[in-house]
Amino acid sequence: MTTIIGIAGNQIIQSVDVFNGNHVSYTPQGFVTAVQKAGGLPIILPIGEEQAAADYISKIDKLLLAGGQDISPDLFGEDPHPKLEETNRSRDLFELALIKEAIKQNKPIFAVCRGMQLLNVALGGTLYQDLSLYSDWKVKHGQQPTQPQFATHDIQIEKNSILYPLLGERYRVNSYHHQALNTVASSLKITARSSDGIAEAIESENPKQRILGVQWHPELRFDVEAKEFKLFDYFVNQL
């Protein structure tokens, strides 16, 4: 049977001039295409009521958490920092419910960028609301204006990790984030870091809990870098 991948969706309000302010549920096309290329069946899970999470998770085989807005800092016990950017509390709460249900129903989770950060918060960790709060910040983690198909900084990958057989000990990634993991949830472990020590990948401490998170954006490079596609192939067919 085809593996059904539920991709947690985002929302956008389109231009009033073009689409009369139409509200749209969406996910970046790269996730859809990469999952399809790996043989999976992608389904977008639109932001909804927390109570619907159990039903959504019961209808999919695996959960994919995409990038997007900053995470509401009160969810990890902080007031908003002046450098906090856009948040969407409805999305935060719905995705937290999806994570809770995926773990409860033993469904694998692949989390990208914001998704990795929210996963850490869901399990009890905290974030740096902006990298300026991290004292050892030395690497440019927001690579604009460089295009996303180009990798811009190195990461060091732990040998005892999911990523090591897929990407090797050192790998070069693209980077689009100004928040980062601070305190790591006790049930998670960091399996890759940038040269300035920022967490670039996480996995569950419990091998029976199938979780993989990456801080970069493989959905923006999988068509030009075969190793990025390996992440999706692993997620759909092995995780």
Cα angle: 83, vertex 85, 90; to 5 degrees = 140
Domain range for residue 182? 4-237
What 3-state DSSP class applies to 196? coil
Q: What per-residue confidence (pLDDT) applies to 96? A: 98
Q: What phi and psi values does residue 99 have, to the nearest 5 degrees?
A: -60, -50
Question: Contact 2/14 with Cβ under 8 angstroms?
Answer: no
Give me the number of domains the chain comprises: 1
Is residue 21 left, alpha or beta, with left meaning phi > 0 and alpha meaning psi from -120 to 50? left
DSSP string computed for 113-126: THHHHHHHHHTT--
Q: How far apart are CA 127 and CA 150, in angstroms?
A: 26
Q: Residues with catalytic annotation? A: 113, 217, 219
Query: How many residues are listed for the chain in this entry?
Result: 239
Output the pLDDT for position 9.
97
Contact, 154 vs 171, CB < 8 A? yes
Residue environment code for 23-36, b if the CB has 16+ CB neighbours within 10 A, otherwise e: eeeebbebbbebbe
Closest CA to 184 of 208, 205, 156, 158: 205
| Residue 16, pLDDT score | 57
The answer to whether 73 and 121 are in contact (CB under 8 A) is: no
- Measure the CA–CA gap between 24 and 8, rounded to whole angstroms: 14
The strand pairing partners of 176, in sequence order, are 142
**Local confidence pLDDT in tens for the 239 residues of the chain:** 899 999 999 998 765 566 666 788 999 999 999 999 999 999 999 999 999 999 999 999 999 999 999 999 999 999 999 999 999 999 999 999 999 999 999 999 999 999 999 999 999 999 999 999 999 999 999 999 999 999 999 999 999 999 999 999 999 999 999 999 999 999 999 999 999 999 999 999 998 899 999 999 999 999 999 999 999 999 999 99
Q: Residue 210 in contact with residue 204, Cβ under 8 Å? A: yes
Residue 212's beta-bridge partner residues? 110, 203
What pLDDT shows up at residue 185? 98
Q: C-alpha angle with apex 189: 187 to 193, nearest 5 degrees?
A: 155
Q: How far apart are CA 140 and CA 132, in angstroms?
A: 11
Find the CATH number of the domain harbouring 166.
Answer: 3.40.50.880
The pair of three-digit structure tokens given for residue 20, joined into one six-digit string:
């009369």
CB atoms within 10 A of CB 124: 13
Please give the pLDDT value at position 69: 96
Q: Would you state the pLDDT for residue 15?
A: 57
pLDDT at 78: 98
